[in-house]
């Protein structure tokens, strides 16, 4: 059986750090409120010359370096983003060009905060079907550009950044001992649109628009949806929380992460937390967290890693993989 195995990982953050205290002069908020309600201490904000594609390119280069590959080795780029440089062409195609890559294919995937989980699942399907051998999967965002900086209920939560992995086809035994993606479960339900959306777009207002969120409503659904797709991963593989080495969730809110881990019986020391330093970077949050935990030696070859995300749409999903 063909498996999609992680060969490299990388990330890139904007130069500018914005701490909670810096936001106290922007909206009526406090460092204490933000930390207590979200766990966020700081986030990175893209400068004038930084864009989703420039951040994505740097993350992609880092992932290729770690994989010992060049753009010439890649046959597909998928970039998960909801903040593309332009309505079109796709940011993935922009990144492809920046990498000097003029073969293969590149496209964007839009599933908001679940974007990276959707992109890994899509890459895995391309690899399993034989349509691609080496896929560069990027999560890159500049949410600072779609925030209403007068709305304290949203502007304190999000940040910018990019992360990437390289997935490569490898022959496996078809058992859970294989390296690579072992299970993937994706869900969406558009009935929840009004709870988290952007109030503009090319086909409606002709503007880019701003992010709008009923945070409490999203929070209410988050833990249930997250546990649903993780239990689906456990059912599909016969694995459970005790088998997981690392839980790498979407980093929206420390309270959501802690509540999900508690409900699933995942021990605290197995949970990778980066929301404190990155804020919510939407599709970039999981690859940024993977990069932290793999670069500092926590995630090692052979470890069982559980990814999950939930976000606008709603969309939600899980990926269980052996590193
Ligand atoms: O990644 C995509 C998915 N998104 C999420 O997962 C986000 C899910 N939601 C959340 O993380 C949380 O709901 C928030 C962090 C957004 C808000 O936390 P909360 O505990 O649900 O707070 P709340 O919305 O119930 O607000 C509590 C109070 C309100 O004041 P009143 O009505 O009780 O007087 C807010 O107006 O906190 C107030 N508030 C703030 N105060 C200081 C809201 N934002 C702020 C702020 N600073 N930035």
Half-sphere CA count of 124, side-chain side, radius 13 A: 22
Determine if ligand 1 sits within 6 Å of the CB of residue 37.
yes
Catalytic residue (one of 94, 253, 280, 291): 280
Total length of the chain: 323
Ligand 1 centroid – CA 37 distance (Å): 7
Together in a domain, 211 and 85: no
Beta carbons within 8 Å of 65's beta carbon, 6+ residues apart: 8, 10
Mutate to test the pocket of ligand 1, among 41, 151, 153 (most ligand atoms within 8 A of CB): 153
Query: In the annotation, is 280 catalytic?
Result: yes
Question: Which of 136, 171, 206 lies at the terminal end of a domain, its last residue?
Answer: 171
144, 171, 198: which is the final residue of a domain?
171
What is the arithmetic mean of pLDDT over 248-257? Answer: 98
Residue at token pair 């280069």: 61
Each residue's pLDDT tens digit, 103-127: 999 999 999 999 999 999 999 999 9
Same-domain pairing of 157 and 192: no
pLDDT band at residue 28 under the 50/70/90 scheme: very high
CATH code of the domain containing 47: 3.40.47.10
* Ligand 1 atom 35: residue of nearest CA: 153
Report the distance separating Cα 173 and Cα 1, nearest Å: 6
pLDDT for the residue 30 = 98
Strand partners, 321: 181, 305
Residue 213 and residue 137 share a domain: no
Q: Which pLDDT does position 3 carry in this prediction? A: 98
What integer is the mean pLDDT of 33-53? 98
Mean pLDDT over residues 128-137, rounded? 98
| 90-108 mean pLDDT | 98
Q: How far is the CA of 154 from the centre of ligand 1 (A)?
A: 8
Q: Which domain holds residue 89?
A: 2-171
**Residues 185, 155 within the same domain:** no
Arithmetic mean of pLDDT, 267-295? 98
pTM of the model: 0.98
- Residue at a domain's end among 138, 171, 204: 171
User: Is 89 close to ligand 1, i.e. is its CB under 6 Å away?
Assistant: no
- Provide the percentage of residues in the chain whose pLDDT is more than 90: 100
pLDDT score of 202: 98
Pair 121, 36 in one domain: yes
Residues 137 and 12 both lie in one domain: yes
128 plus 145 within the same structural domain = yes
What rounded mean pLDDT belongs to the chain? 98
235 and 139, same structural domain? Answer: no
Domains identified in the chain, total number: 2
Q: Do 14 and 154 share a structural domain? A: yes
- At 7, the pLDDT band (50, 70, 90 cuts) reads very high
215 lines ligand 1 (CB under 6 A): yes
Q: Are residues 166 and 190 in the same domain?
A: no
Do 185 and 108 reside in the same domain of the chain?
no
Q: What's the whole-number mean pLDDT along residues 160-189?
A: 98
Domain co-membership, 135 together with 241: no
Gap between the Cα atoms of 287 and 298, Å rounded: 15
* C-alpha 9 to ligand 1 mean position (Å): 33
- 157 alpha carbon – ligand 1 mean position (Å): 9
């Amino acid at each position: 059986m063909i498996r999609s195995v992680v060969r490299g990982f990388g990330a890139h953050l904007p130069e500018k750090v914005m701490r909670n205290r810096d936001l106290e002069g922007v909206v009526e908020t406090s460092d204490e409120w933000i930390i207590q309600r979200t766990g966020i201490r700081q986030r990175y904000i893209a400068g004038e010359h930084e864009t989703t594609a420039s951040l994505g390119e740097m993350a992609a280069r880092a992932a290729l370096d770690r994989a010992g590959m060049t753009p010439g080795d890649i046959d597909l780029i998928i970039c998960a983003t909801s903040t593309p440089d332009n309505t079109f062409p796709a940011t993935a195609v922009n990144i492809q060009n920046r990498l000097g890559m003029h073969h293969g294919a590149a496209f964007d995937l839009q599933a908001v905060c679940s974007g990276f989980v959707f992109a890994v699942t899509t890459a895995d399907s391309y690899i399993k079907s034989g349509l691609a051998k080496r896929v560069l999967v990027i999560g890159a965002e500049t949410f600072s550009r779609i925030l209403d900086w007068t709305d304290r209920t949203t502007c304190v939560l999000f940040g910018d950044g990019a992360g990437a992995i390289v997935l490569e086809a490898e022959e496996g035994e078809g058992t859970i001992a294989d390296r690579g993606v072992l299970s993937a479960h994706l869900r969406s339900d558009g009935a929840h649109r009004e709870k988290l959306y952007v109030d503009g777009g090319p086909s409606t207002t002709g503007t880019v628009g701003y992010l709008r969120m009923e945070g409490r409503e999203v929070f209410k659904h988050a833990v249930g949806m997250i546990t649903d797709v993780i239990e689906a991963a456990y059912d599909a593989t016969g694995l459970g929380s005790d088998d997981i080495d690392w839980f790498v969730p979407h980093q929206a809110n420390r309270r959501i992460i802690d509540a999900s881990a508690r409900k699933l019986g995942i021990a605290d020391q197995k949970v990778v937390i980066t929301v404190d330093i990155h804020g919510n970077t939407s599709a970039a949050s999981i690859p940024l967290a993977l990069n932290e935990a793999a670069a500092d030696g926590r995630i090692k070859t052979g470890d069982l890693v559980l990814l999950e995300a939930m976000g606008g749409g709603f969309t939600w999903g899980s990926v269980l993989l052996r590193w």
